[in-house]
Copies of this chain bind each other. A is one copy, B any other.
Amino acid sequence: MPITRRQKEILDYLRNFLDQQGYSPTLEEIAHHFSLASLNGVYKHLRALEERGFIRRLTNQARSIQLVDPESTSSAVLPLLGYVTAGQPLEAVVNEENIAVPETFQTRGTNYVLQVQGESMIEEHIQDGDYVILEQRSEAHNGEMVVALIDGEKATLKKFYREQDKIRLQPANAALEPIWTTEDKIQIQGVVVGIMRKY
């Protein structure tokens, strides 16, 4: 993943700080080091670095910046993490398989692959056995297809819609009912960025 000069400066600083202190700096400390007046400037750099896969962060957690080791990126081989059953929610198994994916399918951030079981996304022309390529993300926009963890244990592939203060997880299959839930009961695991099918 490419990087701009400014981003590299920030990354080098993070690397240094983590190395010396053992914990990551706060946004304010980074801003001060680069003489920036606004934290949002820092924030955007961090998000850019995260999208490009150089660092990882926990949301709303102080000093939670971690470096991502360069080995695990930039490969066309993505982890195949298991099955996602669209009809009947099923636990996402962590396998140790890999699958090759064209580089053009890879997006900013971390990508992985799941194999679809069932017909719940059939109206989106995703059928049983298809491989879906996902971008690891914790948030989604309306209409995106996501893998979401419900009640912390069941993974399901659905279309995501935010409606007022509720979330609708909509299967693309007239025979199946949407799941209504709230923001705090689900965790978005990733957003579908591509599919592959073998005959």
Residues of A within 8 A of B (CB): 2-5, 7-8, 21-24, 56, 58, 61-66, 72, 74-77, 99-105, 122, 125-127, 145, 192-199
As for how many copies of this chain the complex holds, the number is 2
Chain B residue contacts of A65, Cβ below 8 A: 2
The residue of chain B having its C-beta at the shortest distance from the C-beta of A12 within the complex is: B22
Assembled-state Cα–Cα distance A102/B133 (Å): 13
Beta-carbon contact of B99 and A100 below 8 Å: no
Q: Which residues of B contact A101 (CB under 8 A)?
A: 75, 102
The 9 closest A-B pairs by CB, nearest first: A100-B102, A125-B125, A2-B64, A195-B197, A4-B63, A74-B100, A125-B127, A75-B100, A194-B198
Smallest Cβ-Cβ distance to A102: which chain B residue: B100
Task: Select from chain B the residue with minimum beta-carbon distance to A104.
Answer: B100
Q: Are A105 and B198 in contact (CB under 8 A)?
A: yes
Task: Tell me the complex Cα distance, A195–B196, Å.
Answer: 6
